[in-house]
């Protein structure tokens, strides 16, 4: 019988692992609760009307269509039976495995304030992105309709919480939307007056980057009209607004980009997790007491060279690649492989049109050239020629015409909150 590999999660780690097992003669089952793989690094551009949903998501089945050794299942995992060696689905069906790979990613975390989520949604799925897009666009519509000056100001105040790369990128585009793209379209309000707040509890924005790049980013954001607030703790989020320390700021649109919590994989596996819910794995990315169960990507707490491996796409891909090679070595009966070693390729973030920062460690880039390098790198990493072409056209069109292409308000939500 063929060696049965069950992979839960078709993100960067899961897909890379399946790709690495091509031709290995395994019987692979790839399970995800969504029908699409999502290119999360560009999700913020869907939330801010630059890209359409279908430009950064691909049906997992289609990606796997020529892999006869892979069975794709759209299903929700509810647990893992480690004794019987089976994954349990919500339908009750059990999928047996010889090797299990769990790479189920993370959700946003509210540090014990989960009730903030309704008023301060995070950004992890396509639905999150269309929810944020709808709220952003509705805020301008509501401001246009109201005669109440205080309400208008609250509708035109946008608060982004957390100044990592995602928070910076969101704030930058929202400011461009308000100050560059929308002004000509409204008759009662001046969208130039919209306030965009980028709120960070830590001492500075972009802690993963060198300080001079973060300084450049702060200046670039401020030039675009973003108010950058550092060392400011968020103490409450409600439908009325956001509380910074003991200062209330009326705001109808809050976006949460401040923290992540791993998926419940540690509970399924009854395995030790860190505070963020990430499963602690060995240097071969497996459970300490079970070398045939791997945990990869944002779901895993991995160290390399004495440092925590960051929760970014290149790290997840490297882990998927490593685990695939390890599984192949075992099947071939070869000696144990060297432990996982993470190679950091660099950090990059856009601030807005013509401005990005790239920190390669050895050297840095910023400004226009960095922005082009950022764009070309991201197009390169998309799946398939069609997405590359479509995203390129959307970006070029937006660049040349000053118009974003995906400004649709869809799904029911009453106009009046």
> Which residues are identified as catalytic?
169
If the CB atoms of residues 134 and 193 are measured against a second copy, the closer one turns out to be 134
Among positions 201-230, residues that touch a second copy (CB under 8 A) are none
If the CB atoms of residues 44 and 322 are measured against a second copy, the closer one turns out to be 44
Q: Is 74 in the site for a second copy (CB under 8 A)?
A: yes
Long-range contacts from 281-289, C-beta under 8 angstroms, 24+ separation: 282/339, 283/339, 283/340, 284/326, 284/336, 284/337, 284/339, 284/340, 285/319, 285/322, 285/323, 285/326, 285/340
| Minimal distance, residue 392 CB to a second copy, in Å | 11
Q: Is 415 in the site for a second copy (CB under 8 A)?
A: yes
Q: Is 73 in the site for a second copy (CB under 8 A)?
A: yes
The 3-class SS string of 171-206 reads: HHHHHHHHHHHCHHHCCCCCHHHCEEEEEECCCCCC
Distance (Å) of CA 375 to CA 41, 171, 281, 391: 11, 18, 34, 10
Under 8 Å between Cβ of 38 and 11: yes
Residues near 271 by Cβ (< 8 Å), separated by ≥ 6?
A: 265, 279, 280, 287, 295
Q: Is 283 in the site for a second copy (CB under 8 A)?
A: no
Q: Segment near a second copy (CB under 8 A), from 11-19, 72-80, 220-228, 359-367? A: 72-80
Candidates 126, 232, 331, 377: give the one binding a second copy (CB under 8 A). 126
If the CB atoms of residues 53 and 157 are measured against a second copy, the closer one turns out to be 53
If the CB atoms of residues 184 and 247 are measured against a second copy, the closer one turns out to be 184
Under 8 Å between Cβ of 108 and 153: no
Residue 196, strand partner residues: 158, 226
Q: Is 409 in the site for a second copy (CB under 8 A)?
A: yes
Q: Is 141 in the site for a second copy (CB under 8 A)?
A: yes
Q: Is 71 in the site for a second copy (CB under 8 A)?
A: yes
Among positions 30-69, residues that touch a second copy (CB under 8 A) are 34-36, 52-55, 57, 59, 61-62, 64-66
| Minimal distance, residue 207 CB to a second copy, in Å | 33
| Minimal distance, residue 32 CB to a second copy, in Å | 11
The angle formed by the CA atoms of residues 278, 284 and 285, to the nearest 5 degrees, is 20
According to DSSP, residue 83 is labeled T
What kind and span of H or E run contains 159?
A: strand 157-161
Candidates 78, 93, 235, 267: give the one binding a second copy (CB under 8 A). 93
Q: Please tell me the distance from the alpha carbon of residue 285 to that of residue 188, in angstroms, as a whole number.
A: 57
Residue 73, strand partner residues: 31
> Taking the CA of residue 150 as centre, how many other CA atoms within 13 Å lie in the half-sphere pointing to its CB?
4
| Minimal distance, residue 187 CB to a second copy, in Å | 4
Long-range contacts from 77-85, C-beta under 8 angstroms, 24+ separation: 77/8, 77/31, 77/33, 77/104, 77/268, 78/268, 79/268, 80/268, 80/269, 80/293, 82/269, 82/270, 82/290, 82/293
| Minimal distance, residue 315 CB to a second copy, in Å | 26
Candidates 136, 324, 349, 406: give the one binding a second copy (CB under 8 A). 406
Q: Segment near a second copy (CB under 8 A), from 89-97, 107-115, 198-206, 284-292? A: 89-97
| Minimal distance, residue 271 CB to a second copy, in Å | 27
If the CB atoms of residues 267 and 401 are measured against a second copy, the closer one turns out to be 401
Candidates 13, 42, 106, 137: give the one binding a second copy (CB under 8 A). 137
Residue for token pair 């704030």: 171
Among positions 357-396, residues that touch a second copy (CB under 8 A) are 386, 389-390, 393
If the CB atoms of residues 189 and 206 are measured against a second copy, the closer one turns out to be 189
According to DSSP, residue 167 is labeled H
Q: Is 290 in the site for a second copy (CB under 8 A)?
A: no
Q: Please tell me the distance from the alpha carbon of residue 382 to that of residue 39, in angstroms, as a whole number.
A: 7
Q: Please tell me the distance from the alpha carbon of residue 66 to that of residue 396, in angstroms, as a whole number.
A: 33
| Minimal distance, residue 406 CB to a second copy, in Å | 4
| Minimal distance, residue 127 CB to a second copy, in Å | 6
216 φ/ψ angles, rounded to the nearest 5 degrees: -60, -45
Applying CB under 8 A, the residues found at the interface with a second copy are 34-36, 52-55, 57, 59, 61-62, 64-66, 71-76, 90-91, 93, 126-127, 130, 137-138, 141, 144-145, 182, 184-188, 386, 389-390, 393, 397, 401, 403, 405-412, 415-416
């Amino acid at each position: 019988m063929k060696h049965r590999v069950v992979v839960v999660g078709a993100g960067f780690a899961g897909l890379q692992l399946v790709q690495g097992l091509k031709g290995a003669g395994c019987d692979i089952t790839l399970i995800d609760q969504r029908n699409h793989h999502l290119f999360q690094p560009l999700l913020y551009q869907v939330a801010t009307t630059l890209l359409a949903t279908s430009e950064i998501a691909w049906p997992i089945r289609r990606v796997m269509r020529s892999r006869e050794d892979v069975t794709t299942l759209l299903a929700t995992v509810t647990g893992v039976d480690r004794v019987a060696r089976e994954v349990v689905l919500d339908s009750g069906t059990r999928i047996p495995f010889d090797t299990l790979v769990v790479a189920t990613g993370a959700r946003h975390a509210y540090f014990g304030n989960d009730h903030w989520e309704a008023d301060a949604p995070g950004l992890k799925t396509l639905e999150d992105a269309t929810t944020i897009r709808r709220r952003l666009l509705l805020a301008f519509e509501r401001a246009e309709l109201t005669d109440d000056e205080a309400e208008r100001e609250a509708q035109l105040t946008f608060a982004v919480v957390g100044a990592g790369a995602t928070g910076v990128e969101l704030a930058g585009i929202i400011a461009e939307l308000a100050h560059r793209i929308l002004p000509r379209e409204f008759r009662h309000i001046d969208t130039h007056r919209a306030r965009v707040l980028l709120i960070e509890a830590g001492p500075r924005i972009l802690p993963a980057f060198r300080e001079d790049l973060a300084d450049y980013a702060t200046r670039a954001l401020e030039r675009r009209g973003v108010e950058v607030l550092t060392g400011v703790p968020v103490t409450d989020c409600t439908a009325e607004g956001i509380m910074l320390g003991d200062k209330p700021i009326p705001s109808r649109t809050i976006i949460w980009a401040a923290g992540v919590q791993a998926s419940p994989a540690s509970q399924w596996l009854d395995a030790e997790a860190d505070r963020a819910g990430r499963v602690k794995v060995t240097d071969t990315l497996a459970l300490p007491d079970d070398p045939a169960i791997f945990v990869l990507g944002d779901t895993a707490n991995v160290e390399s060279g004495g440092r925590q491996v960051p929760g970014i796409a290149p790290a997840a891909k490297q882990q998927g690649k490593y685990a695939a090679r390890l599984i192949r070595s075992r099947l071939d009966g070869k000696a144990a492989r060297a432990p996982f070693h993470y190679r950091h390729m660099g950090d990059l973030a856009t601030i807005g049109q013509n401005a990005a920062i790239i920190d390669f460690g050895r050297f840095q880039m910023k400004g226009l050239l960095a922005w082009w390098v950022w764009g070309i790198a991201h197009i390169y990493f998309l799946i398939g020629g069609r997405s590359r072409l479509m995203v390129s056209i959307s970006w070029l069109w937006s660049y040349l015409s000053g118009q974003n292409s995906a400004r649709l308000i869809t799904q029911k939500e009453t106009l009046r909150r």
